[in-house]
Amino acid sequence: MTIHIGAKPGEIAETVLLPGDPYRAKWAAETFLDDPKLVNEVRGMLGYTGTYKGKPVTIHGSGMGMPSLSIYVNELIRDYGAKTLIRIGSCGGMQDKVKVRDVILAMTASTISTPSRGIFKELNFAPSADWSLLKAAADAAEAKGVVPHVGGIYSADVFYDERPDLNEQMVRHGILGVEMEAAELYNLALRHGVRALAVLTVSDHLLTHEALPSEDREKSFGDMVEIALEAAFA
């Protein structure tokens, strides 16, 4: 048990999927895991542990933004022994070729600032995904008939962005999508020697302003969760 996670020793699996929304964690656990058990609800951040094809898996909310994710990922790694952490979440598309409902596999995560900034100081550290997970996720997607976009994303530290000039540079440099957590997940995984990946569903688009209707989100997010689960155990 930690300050923010009430699970008992042994109740968190070595493989953890991390949606930002705790209720998405509940939906994913009840939809894709066998015998899911609620193992955390401290501060309303739900976490469930069950099995996927006989393998233990925890699906735990991370909250919105890198500071929130940093709290949970630090505790999951240091106190509960998590070895594979995969963010499953939504993002905004930033390229014409990226469509709403598409899946992005984040190879790298650019950012202005993360909670790790104080450690790196003047260094512009380039956080990246674990190669074995990235390749396994690409293979799992293709096996499902999904053609994923693989490349760089942008992890923003604000939701209501007022920097159109910065967005223009992201688009110009091939950034596929924007979200708010992956860069710090990658920093922490690399620091602690564990595996991490972000598998993202495009829920809206910064260029076309198209957005996925809320009633369609669960069906579209299903591919993302299955790809993450298959990649974790490839």
Enumerate domains of the chain plus CATH numbers. 15-232 (3.40.50.1580)
Higher pLDDT, 161 or 90: 90
pLDDT value of position 213: 82
Cα→Cα distances 174→28, 110, 150, Å:
31, 11, 11
**Whether pLDDT at 219 is above 90:** no
Is 163 annotated in a binding site? The answer is no
For the stretch 173-200, what's the b/e string if a residue is b when 16 or more beta carbons lie within 10 angstroms of its beta carbon?
eebbbbbbbbbbbbbbbbeeebbbbbbb
pLDDT value of position 146: 95
Mean pLDDT of the chain: 95
pLDDT value of position 218: 67
Residue 204 annotated among the catalytic residues of the structure: yes
pLDDT value of position 163: 87
Is 4 annotated in a binding site? The answer is yes
**Whether pLDDT at 78 is above 90:** yes
From 102, 161, 204, 216, the catalytic residue: 204
Give the count of beta carbons closer than 10 Å to the beta carbon of residue 215. 7
Q: Which of 71, 70, 63 is nearest to 20 (CA)?
A: 63
H or E, element range at 40: strand 34-40
* Mean pLDDT value across residues 167-182: 96
Give the count of beta carbons closer than 10 Å to the beta carbon of residue 145. 7
* Spatial distance between the Cα atoms of 57 and 229, rounded to a whole number of angstroms: 9
**Whether pLDDT at 215 is above 90:** no
pLDDT digits 0-9 by tens, 119-171 = 999 999 999 999 999 999 999 999 999 999 999 999 999 999 888 899 999 99
Q: Which two tokens stand for residue 182?
A: 């992956």
Is 181 annotated in a binding site? The answer is yes
* Mean pLDDT value across residues 187-210: 97
pLDDT digits 0-9 by tens, 15-27 = 999 999 999 999 9
Is 43 annotated in a binding site? The answer is yes
Picking from 11-25, 71-85, 145-159, 202-216, which range would have the lowest pLDDT averaged per residue? 202-216
pLDDT value of position 214: 72
* Mean pLDDT value across residues 31-42: 98
Cα→Cα distances 195→47, 138, 202, 217, 231, Å:
20, 16, 23, 27, 11
Picking from 66-80, 149-163, 209-223, which range would have the lowest pLDDT averaged per residue? 209-223
